[in-house]
A and B are shown apart, each in its own frame.
Chain A
């Protein structure tokens, strides 16, 4: 069965675009958007540029806007999409070329929240013990693959000002809710700025777009209550 793809093309160095190019591919059952892009690149236009790596929704490279939603190309089946498939780069980020966007502002935000475990005391002789119940508390948040589909879907992230974004806040929650981490106070301070956790408007687009089904809005709201408790009562934890 043949499917049509309308793909965003833009090459600032060659002065081409921005424009849409229509491809037609033979789509057998089970074909994903990423498979279709491979066919377009290999057989029709080798200049088509996009990020991809694992093809099994674990690396987070191939996030893009498909029919208006922020999705992973390797996880989205053509049979689940209706009509001509409109493929654009992630929304709200600068376009480098075709479907490749500039992740640097998001990665800079990531570095600013100290994304590694900060433990207390001397390291133990063997491993640190963590009970399954404690692990379950941050299980969902730890599944994040930093694909930034959520941040690209967030209407607040589209505006000015450098909102940290749902992906970064989920990473902070992953550490705050990890009982091996001893730097909760500092982490809550890192997200307490004007552009931090207070800018979430509960629009839920992040939760809808997460390919790992992380309950992002719920996570951010829990984190916000912790930040509020800290700011309003000066509790040091």
Chain B
């Protein structure tokens, strides 16, 4: 390929198609999972979006307490079933991860712990699972 001289137009680059990038993507994604910083970035984003969607739904559901009392009581009885308690536990885990990872990001913003970045990500992940374990223990009587 000849590089264009001043004033000349080089060859027009064309993007390799979406299908091909999608096929290359998996190797980058799999690689990314083993890099703590990239894993934390993806998980922080995913938990953030899930929590945001839940927040909006939650406000509407709790709002029923003010405007639709019978409906509210029956909704709350449904949400007390084991399936929903488990989903609530997952949400608890998502909030824990998002919050703890957020704290890690704030420390890094102050240039604290940059050398231990990888280890801190796994500490946050371990803490999240510990909290979920505690939650499971606390909920156990209700689940069985």
Question: Do A and B share a direct contact in the complex (Cβ within 8 angstroms)?
Answer: yes
* Residues on A facing B (Cβ under 8 Å): 8, 10, 12-13, 17-18, 49, 65, 67-69, 86, 88, 91, 94-97, 100, 102, 155, 201-205, 208, 215, 217-218, 221-222, 224-225
Residues of A within 8 A of B28 (CB): 65, 68, 91
Contacting chain A: which of B35-43, B50-58, B73-81, B92-100?
B35-43
CB-nearest residue of chain A to B118: A204
Contact B13 A88 (CB under 8 A): no
Q: How near does chain A come to B7, taking the closest CB pair, in angstroms?
A: 15
How many A-B Cβ pairs are below 8 Å? 75
- The verdict on A201 contacting B30 (CB below 8 Å), with A18-B17, A96-B13, A222-B111 known, is no
How many whole Å from B92's CB to the nearest CB in chain A? Answer: 24
**Which one of A13, A86, A201 lies within 8 Å of B27 (CB-CB)?**
A86
CB neighbours of B11 from chain A (8 A): 13, 96-97
Shortest Cβ distance from B37 into A: residue: A204
Q: Is the CB of A202 within 8 A of B108?
A: yes
Task: Report yes or no: B105 in contact with A202, Cβ–Cβ below 8 A.
Answer: yes
Mask of B16-46 contacts with A, CB within 8 angstroms, 1/0: 1100100010011011100111101110000
Q: How far does the Cβ of A166 sit from chain B's closest Cβ, in whole Å? A: 13
B5 within 8 A of A: no
Chain B residues contacting A205 (CB-CB under 8 Å) are 32, 35, 37-38
Residues of B at the A interface (CB closer than 8 Å) are 1, 11, 13-17, 20, 24, 27-28, 30-32, 35-38, 40-42, 105, 108-111, 114, 117
13 additional A-B pairs beyond A10-B16, A13-B11, A215-B114, beta carbons within 8 Å, are A65-B28, A88-B24, A95-B13, A95-B14, A95-B16, A96-B13, A97-B11, A100-B1, A201-B41, A205-B32, A218-B114, A221-B108, A225-B110
B interface, over-half SS:
helix
A203's partner among B13, B27, B38 (CB-CB below 8 A) is: B38
A-B contact pairs, 6 of them (CB 8 A): A68-B30, A155-B41, A218-B114, A221-B109, A222-B111, A225-B110
**Which residues of the partner chain A approach B1 to less than 8 Å between Cβ atoms?**
49, 96-97, 100
Contact of B38 among A155, A224, A225 (CB under 8 A): A155
**Chain A residues with CB under 8 A of B32:** 155, 205
Q: Among B15, B24, B32, B108, find the residue whose CB has the most chain A CB atoms closer than 10 A.
A: B24
Q: What residues of chain A lie closer than 8 Å to B14, measured between beta carbons?
A: 12, 94-95
**Chain A's nearest CB lies how many Å from the CB of B101?**
10
Known: A218-B111, A221-B108, A222-B111. A202 touches B16 (CB 8 A): no
B26 → A minimal CB distance (Å): 9
User: Which residues of B have CB within 8 Å of A8?
Assistant: 24
**Residue pair A102, B20 in contact (C-beta under 8 Å):** no
Contact A203 B37 (CB under 8 A): yes
Q: Enumerate chain A residues within 8 angstroms of B108, measured Cβ to Cβ.
A: 202, 217, 221
Contacting pair B109 A95 (CB below 8 A): no
Contact B37 A221 (CB under 8 A): no
A204 and B35 within 8 A (CB): yes
Return A116 CB to nearest CB of chain B, in Å.
20
